[in-house]
Amino acid sequence: MELVLRPWKMDDLENLVVYANNYKIARNLTNKFPYPYTEEDGVRFINYTLEDKTAHIFAIEINGEVCGGIGLHPHTDVECKNAELGYWLAEPFWGRGIMTQAIKEIIDYGFAKIDINRIFARPYGSNIGSQKVLEKTGFKLEARFEKTFFKFGEYEDELVYAVRKEDY
């Protein structure tokens, strides 16, 4: 299996829309990731990744096929040494260790290329798979906030996981 993290391009639109239009994926992400996921959503997202110079957002490609996305979003002000990690993977690719490898690569990239000392992620309390992959890649649970997220008519706990440069 050959995993590549690379910039998004408009040629990725078809795969993006096919794989992103999945309730099981959208249910674990912010409302910026819509469901249903349309071609217009895909065009808007790809254009955003190409235009926003502060975000570091990559397509996940497996054996030449785009099947997900991963990115670091540096914060500003007093949080300027922090970047938030976001990611998703197409359902047919779950359970193969792909996200573990992708997260390790984005951590290496983040600490080498961005002036940060902490990368954090905020999975939902019900997203056990995401919690496991974060723990497997060196993230530690820093906090749990009860019922802070509201998605698809339900409250979700917010977990805060982080990895620090000096510990990685």
Which residues of the chain are modeled with pLDDT < 70?
Answer: none
pLDDT of residue 36: 98
pLDDT of residue 107: 98
pLDDT tens across 16-47, in order?
A: 999 999 999 999 999 999 999 999 999 999 99
The residue ranges of every structural domain in the chain are: 3-121
pLDDT of residue 55: 76
pLDDT of residue 8: 97
Greatest pairwise CA separation for the chain in angstroms: 41
Please, is 30 exposed, middle or buried when counting C-beta atoms within 10 Å of its C-beta (0-12, 13-18, 19+)?
Answer: exposed
Cα–Cα dist 103/69, whole Å: 11
pLDDT of residue 53: 79
- Top CATH class, 3-121: alpha beta
Angle between helices 128-136 and 98-113 (to 10 degrees): 60
Strands 82-89 and 118-121, bridge-based pairing? parallel
Segments of 41-102 assigned E as strands = 56-62, 65-74, 82-89
pLDDT of residue 25: 97
